[in-house]
Structure 1
Amino acid sequence: MKRPAAKLTHGDKVYFPAPGLSKRDYLTYLAQIGEHLVRHLRNRPITLVRCPGGVMGRRFYQRHLPPHAPTSLPRRFREEGERPLISISDVDTLLYYGNLGAVEFHAGLHLLEGPQAGCPTALTFDLDPSDPGDFERVRELALRLRDVLRGLELDGLPKTTGASGLQVFVPLAHPLPYAVTRPVVSFIAAYCASRWPNLATTERLVRHRGRRVYVDAPQHGPTRTLIAAYSARAVENALVSVPVTWSELEAGVRPDHFPLHAVPDRLARMGDLMAIAARHPSSRVQAIHDTLPPRWRQTRVRPV
Structure 2
Amino acid sequence: MPIALPDLTGRTAVVTGASDGVGLEIARGLAGAGADVVVPVRNRAKGEQAIARIREGRPDARLTLRDLDLARLDSAGALADALRSERMPVDILVLNAGIVLLGDRQRHVTEDGFELHFQTNFLGHFALTTALLPLLRERRARVVVQCSIAAAVSRLDWRDLQGERRYRPLWAYGASKAALGLFACELARRSAAGAWGVSVQLSQPGIVPGTAIAPALRARIGAGVQNAVARLVRNPPADAALPALVAATAAATPGADLFGPSGSFHRRSAVTRRRPYRSVSDPVDGERVWTTAELLLAERIRPA
Could you state the TM-score of these two structures normalised by the residue count of structure 1? 0.28
Query: Which is bigger in relative contact order (C-alpha 8 A, separation at least 6)?
Result: 1
Could you state the TM-score of these two structures normalised by the residue count of structure 2? 0.28
Q: Which has the higher helix share?
A: 2
